[in-house]
Structure 1
């Protein structure tokens, strides 16, 4: 895979949102009214691909469009009401796990009559699901916890159990976490730059926390930056009067792209931590890294995208899914931006 055949589709949804998820053909969008709108993702993608839009090939294949939430109404299937603003969310095995100021909850997405279940009255600011199905909970001044969302794991030590499946790993202030296979990096107060490594041993699914090691954070080099092209596209076909008919190059070839914006080869990975024993080596992987106040996406160390991380409230990739591993979603104060990376043939 090279940049010449990598199509970057940027979809901007205007508005203010609390959170977002993409799972099993459904797009989940939380509004500031504490409403969760659930949309049919596949029908929306089919509608998008049926509209002719120009693809810009310089400096790399790119297409963009901006929409309002009202334009998503034909694809909305239902709305779920919440009583509190959302902190964070994760979907695992068709169950939504989320946190708000009142605690940590679960909610079945398969049963439309399901009730929200309180797991524990613990506000969690980050829910981090590992590739192996382990869930770390960063709860600020309350510390660091793990919820055994998968029945493939058990804890050997039970003295720190708040419930049969919720365990406190550390009482140190925790702002966020990062998984390193079965180990965990715990980030403390950002102003003090406190970081710890939690080392685990897993034997046939039985977990044991062996030690907690303080780490020193080091500054990383700033990644290369590229400028986003201001390609403001819409659902409307370009007209002869707006001058956009000749603002792109077709190279006299018919452009072919996936009708659902899926990809069997392109997928995104988070950049490996220096402590990781398994560094990402897939040459076709798009690597997402956040360092030195920049969020960047690279292909074989070649920059694809770079944005100031200070303006990003939350970002998410979908490495545990089958069809959405080629997507990067970014939440900004006044918009949600979806980046879809697919192959393009000319």
Structure 2
């Protein structure tokens, strides 16, 4: 083991011990707990170099050292092994998420699961409409002069609208409208679908043109209306377990989490469903989040539908948390793809 590798092993030992004990770590503890095969004096020298490089620091009242944001960053960047979830954890994830009945339930369950697995605050963003594609449009005649339109997207979102027509339709008329809508909507992203629907009245048979214009107007409102991006948060109580982890103020962190804009920005960075993005302490743009680490990932198979992740103190179990975020995102993507 060369000097660089040995120093990294010392840093890794300090991260592991500090995360598990919350106590600053001394050279004696490293020699006793970690089989590095070197003397206490060598470890002390290595710690002096790590401190000079800004990777560890000495809290005022202690002889031990703690990792800095820069130290955690090096540790995370050199994580060759992310602790995989155990078989039991994987089974629990599948069983828990497979029981979900609809999109809202998938979102709620994902947040609860992430918060339990990581013991941090979990955040899941609802699938964003802009990235959704129309899977199906159903037309149901409620009365001869009243239709219900049901629009289903690939992210599991279902929108229903009732349309009063002002004229009576036959079953054949309804079937024709259903065919027209299916041809111009199915498989199209929402923005393209709204353009196609706007062109429909021009292609409709003359006797149905008024009805198709009314239906198209209602559908366009549904397709281009963007309600506020929705987030589900869970496990905020987990932050209060160790108030000492937030030297700034825990209250400002909690307030920032309630400001959905801050959290959406954090999740927006996560566009790759294969990779967990880790932002540590000072790397967070929002000042209120500078005492935290944010782990985020995009979820969805093929298309990224939204983001999810966890927020916690910089002193967190990175390998375990990264594995949990990755696994839950993968299962959620698969579940939504299968709906």
Q: Scaled by the length of structure 2, what TM-score is found?
A: 0.25
Greater Rg, structure 1 or structure 2?
A: 2
Structure showing the higher strand proportion among its residues:
1
Structure showing the higher helix proportion among its residues:
2
